[in-house]
């Protein structure tokens, strides 16, 4: 849009006419739009121009957000881990519906933790994934760890994508089951036990049981959320909570600096594809395959989960003093240990559901899949599995002690209890009303991983029968040249965002580099590596990308991640052999590793819904 001073006939406009025009709610969705709540200031400038007292500035203010100190209750999580640094809040008004010129307004909540070192080098927007996680809660509760990992030089900005927090929170009905895969799966009796995978359920039986349940869930969500359910798609998130926020923070021509994890990578990928000229420092960790996600089939999601499980069993056998299950593979073969686990499936089915951490083969597989997210759980979880299967009488240490803080938790901040499906299904193109078509897709899904049977019917299948249609789904490609190169990070033992997804998406972004994080788990923080952390800092600080093909090894063994000092020698005392670096470990190195671990703990609380049971 042209500068106002160059508009034909501007001199004939009266101040009264300008006032009416500004108050009419006209919106600018192009690159020159200003913050909606600063329109009064624009009116003052235009008025001054007409009477000849001043001229319009050539660019908008550096920031048009009113940051003020605030106090937010983050519920149970904030009660356990209070915010470490002061934070500020601001609001930004955007259109609810970008496809409607007369749309209602939507108010976005933003939270900022300022840089430790002033002035800040830049502002960085962060999203922890989910989908459904609150970026506001993430930044507020883990700003100390984020600052330590990134160096403390950046203003950290948290935002809640549509459907999460208090931004159109997607909650179908609190009295209705929050688990759309809630059908009770029956373990098949006549099944060939695979040598390298967990026993799976019968796909026909699961489709028969889950399909009507998912239809009821979709119907209930439409009844409860039809007024908001069409406005949650990632294309809208890219337009408002990213493009508009970037302009509001740093000005209309600002590049967006962004860190996305898990589903947060899909938000970043979509933004970069839609607005490649606005990409600044972009760090995408644990990547979703954007084409597979958008299709709705989600064939790739658990592609590396079986490999991740076998790797965990291998590490278990190598650490018999830290892994209680190692005793069941005296030959040292992880496949033997897997065979033992499979042999216990009927015993697991008979465990009482009122006192066991897992009480069915399905819940046991869910537990196994969840602990693959982070090795910080491995020792604790394998002890629990051992105790559940072969209980020790009068055991007093079955559950790890946990001291709760004084007082009571306040109200929860993130009200989007069903945001995962509200967002995921908004982005999904695949729809069917035919159980036979679902069965065909399910059979292909289950070829990718033995965990597909406990994942697909909970995540992808409800979207197939979803009733609410997104107002906009980005339908372009993911092959672009961005204003600044993107840095991708991924591991090869990630149970939910496989290596192939990162390879797939990074190939389409010209000039980007994919760094292989050699650790295990979901995300680079799960298994800390100084090499990875320093590569990230070099990229954010100086724009320096790692060399293509770079692999960063972790600095500690996976079963040592939970130890207070990671099993490393005292800094400065002696030389140590470490996976990624040789020489002495420094206090700074140890502090950085601990910060990555703390960040991982919170990310897993977000991803898996765990609270007090997590080691701190």
Segment 33-58 shows an average pLDDT of 46
pLDDT value at residue 286: 97
More confident residue, 531 or 396: 531
Burial 26-57 (b: 16+ CB within 10 A, else e): ebeeeeebbbbbeeeebbeebbebeeeeeeee
Question: How far apart, in Å, are the Cα atoms of 52 and each of 12, 45, 49, 475, 588?
Answer: 13, 10, 5, 48, 59
Measured distance CA(421)–CA(426) in Å, rounded: 8
Please give the model's pTM, rounded to 2 decimal places.
Answer: 0.86
Segment 198-208 shows an average pLDDT of 92
Q: Of the ranges 24-28, 91-95, 382-386, 416-420, which one carries the lowest mean pLDDT score?
A: 24-28
In the β-sheet with 154-159, what is the strand arrangement from edge to edge? 68-69, 88-95, 105-113, 154-159, 122-127, 256-261, 279-285, 486-490, 513-517, 551-552
DSSP E strand stretches across 406-547: 480-481, 486-490, 509-510, 513-517
pLDDT value at residue 182: 52
Fill in the DSSP letter of residue 137. Answer: H
Measured distance CA(159)–CA(111) in Å, rounded: 7
Segment 184-199 shows an average pLDDT of 78
Of 433, 418, 437, 441, the C-alpha closest to 465 is 433
pLDDT for 155 beyond 70: yes
pLDDT for 410 beyond 90: no
Measured between its terminal Cα atoms, the distance across the chain in Å is: 52
Ordered structural domains, the chain, with CATH? 4-50 (no CATH), 68-170+232-296+481-558+587-608 (3.40.50.1820), 171-227+302-395+432-465 (no CATH)
Would the CA dihedral through 444, 448, 454, 455 be positive or negative?
A: negative
More confident residue, 28 or 206: 206
Residue-wise pLDDT tens digits, 76-134: 778 778 899 999 999 999 999 999 999 999 999 999 999 999 999 999 999 999 899 99
Angle at which helix 530-542 crosses helix 135-150, to 10 degrees, equals 100
pLDDT value at residue 78: 80
At 59, the pLDDT band (50, 70, 90 cuts) reads: very low
CA R_g for the chain: 26
Question: Mean pLDDT, the chain, as a whole number?
Answer: 83
**The dihedral formed by the CA atoms of 424, 425, 427 and 433, expressed in degrees to the nearest 10:** 150
Q: Within 13 Å of residue 16, how many CA atoms lie on the same side as its CB?
A: 0
pLDDT for 28 beyond 90: no
Greatest mean pLDDT range, 31-35, 362-366, 490-494, 574-578: 490-494
Greatest mean pLDDT range, 228-242, 393-407, 525-539: 525-539
More confident residue, 419 or 389: 419
pLDDT for 55 beyond 60: no
pLDDT value at residue 392: 60
At 403, the pLDDT band (50, 70, 90 cuts) reads: low
Measured distance CA(105)–CA(96) in Å, rounded: 5
At 194, the pLDDT band (50, 70, 90 cuts) reads: confident
DSSP string covering 368-420? HHHHTT-GGGHHHHHHHHHHHHSPPTT-S-SS---PPPSS-----S---TTHH
| Pairing of the two strands 105-113 and 88-95 | antiparallel
Measured distance CA(602)–CA(74) in Å, rounded: 13
Contact 267, 283 (CB under 8 A): no
Measured distance CA(448)–CA(274) in Å, rounded: 30
At 181, the pLDDT band (50, 70, 90 cuts) reads: low
Segment 63-78 shows an average pLDDT of 86
pLDDT value at residue 371: 93
Residue-wise pLDDT tens digits, 483-514: 999 999 999 999 999 999 999 999 999 999 99
The neighbouring-strand residues paired with 480 are 509
Measured distance CA(327)–CA(176) in Å, rounded: 43
The neighbouring-strand residues paired with 88 are 69, 112
At 583, the pLDDT band (50, 70, 90 cuts) reads: low
Plot region of 543 (φ>0 → left; ψ -120 to 50 → alpha; else → beta): left
pLDDT for 518 beyond 90: yes
More confident residue, 41 or 421: 421
Residue-wise pLDDT tens digits, 245-299: 888 887 777 899 999 999 999 999 999 999 999 999 999 999 999 999 999 999 9
pLDDT for 13 beyond 60: no
Segment 586-603 shows an average pLDDT of 89
The percent of residues above 90 in pLDDT, for the chain, comes to: 62
- Where does residue 121 rank: exposed (0-12), middle (13-18), buried (19+ CB within 10 A)? middle
Segment 542-568 shows an average pLDDT of 92
Segment 368-383 shows an average pLDDT of 93
Angle at alpha carbon of residue 189, lines to 188 and 191, rounded to 5° = 80
DSSP string covering 193-233? PPSSS-----HHHHHHHHHHHHHHHHHHHHHHHTTTTTS--
pLDDT for 570 beyond 80: no
């Amino acid at each position: 849009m042209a500068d106002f001073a160059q508009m034909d006939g501007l001199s004939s406009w009266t101040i009264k006419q300008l006032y009416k025009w500004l108050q009419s709610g006209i919106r600018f969705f192009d690159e020159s739009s200003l913050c909606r709540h600063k329109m009064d200031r624009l009116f003052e400038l235009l008025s001054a121009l007409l009477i000849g007292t001043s001229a319009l500035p050539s660019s908008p203010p550096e920031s048009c957000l009113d940051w003020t100190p605030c106090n937010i209750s983050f519920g149970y999580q904030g009660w356990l881990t209070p915010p470490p640094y002061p934070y500020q809040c601001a609001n930004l008004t955007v259109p609810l519906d970008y496809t409607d010129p007369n749309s209602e307004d939507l108010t976005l909540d933003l939270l900022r933790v300022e840089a430790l070192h002033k002035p800040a080098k830049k502002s960085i927007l962060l999203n922890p994934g989910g989908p459904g996680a609150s970026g506001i809660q993430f930044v507020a509760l883990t700003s100390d760890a984020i600052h330590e990992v990134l160096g403390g030089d950046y203003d950290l900005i948290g935002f809640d994508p549509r459907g999460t927090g208090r931004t159109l929170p997607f909650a179908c009905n609190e009295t209705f089951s929050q688990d759309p895969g809630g059908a009770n799966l029956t373990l098949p009796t006549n099944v060939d036990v695979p040598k390298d995978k967990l026993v799976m359920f019968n796909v026909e039986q699961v489709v028969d049981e889950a399909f009507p349940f998912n239809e009821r869930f979709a119907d209930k969500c439409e009844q409860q959320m039809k007024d908001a359910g069409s406005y949650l798609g990632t294309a809208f998130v890219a337009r408002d909570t990213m493009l508009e926020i970037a302009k509001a923070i740093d000005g209309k021509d600002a590049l967006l600096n962004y860190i996305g994890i898990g589903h947060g990578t899909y938000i970043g990928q979509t933004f970069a594809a839609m607005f490649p000229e606005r990409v600044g420092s972009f760090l995408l960790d644990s990547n979703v395959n954007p084409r597979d996600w958008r299709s709705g089939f989600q064939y790739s999601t658990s592609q590396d989960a079986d490999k991740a499980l076998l790797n965990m069993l291998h590490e278990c056998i190598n650490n018999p003093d830290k892994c209680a299950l190692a005793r069941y593979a005296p030959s040292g073969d992880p496949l033997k240990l897997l065979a033992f686990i499979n042999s216990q499936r009927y015993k697991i089915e008979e465990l009482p559901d009122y006192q066991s951490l897992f009480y069915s083969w399905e819940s046991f597989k869910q537990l196994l899949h969840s602990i693959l997210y982070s090795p910080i759980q491995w020792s604790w979880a394998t002890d629990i599995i051992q105790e559940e299967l072969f209980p020790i009488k009068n055991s007093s240490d079955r559950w790890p002690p946990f001291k709760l803080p004084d007082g009571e938790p306040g109200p929860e901040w993130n009200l989007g209890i069903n945001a995962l499906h509200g967002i995921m299904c908004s982005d999904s193109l695949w729809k069917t009303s035919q159980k036979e078509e679902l069965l065909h897709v399910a059979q292909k899904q289950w070829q990718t991983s033995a965990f597909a049977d406990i994942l697909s019917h909970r995540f992808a299948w409800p979207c197939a029968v979803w009733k609410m249609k997104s107002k906009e789904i980005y339908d372009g490609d993911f092959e672009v040249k961005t204003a600044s190169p993107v840095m991708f990070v991924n591991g090869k033992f990630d149970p939910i965002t496989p290596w192939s997804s990162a390879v797939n998406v990074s190939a389409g972004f010209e000039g980007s580099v994919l760094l292989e994080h050699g650790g295990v788990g979901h995300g680079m923080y799960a298994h800390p590596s100084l090499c990875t952390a320093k590569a990230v800092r070099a990229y954010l600080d100086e724009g320096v990308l790692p060399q293509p093909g770079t692999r960063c090894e972790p600095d500690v063994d996976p079963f040592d991640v939970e130890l207070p000092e990671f099993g490393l020698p005292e800094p400065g005392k002696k030389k140590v052999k470490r996976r990624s670096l040789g020489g002495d470990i420094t206090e700074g190195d140890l502090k950085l590793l601990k910060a990555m671990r703390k960040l991982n703990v919170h990310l897993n609380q977000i991803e898996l819904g765990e609270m007090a049971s997590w080691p701190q």
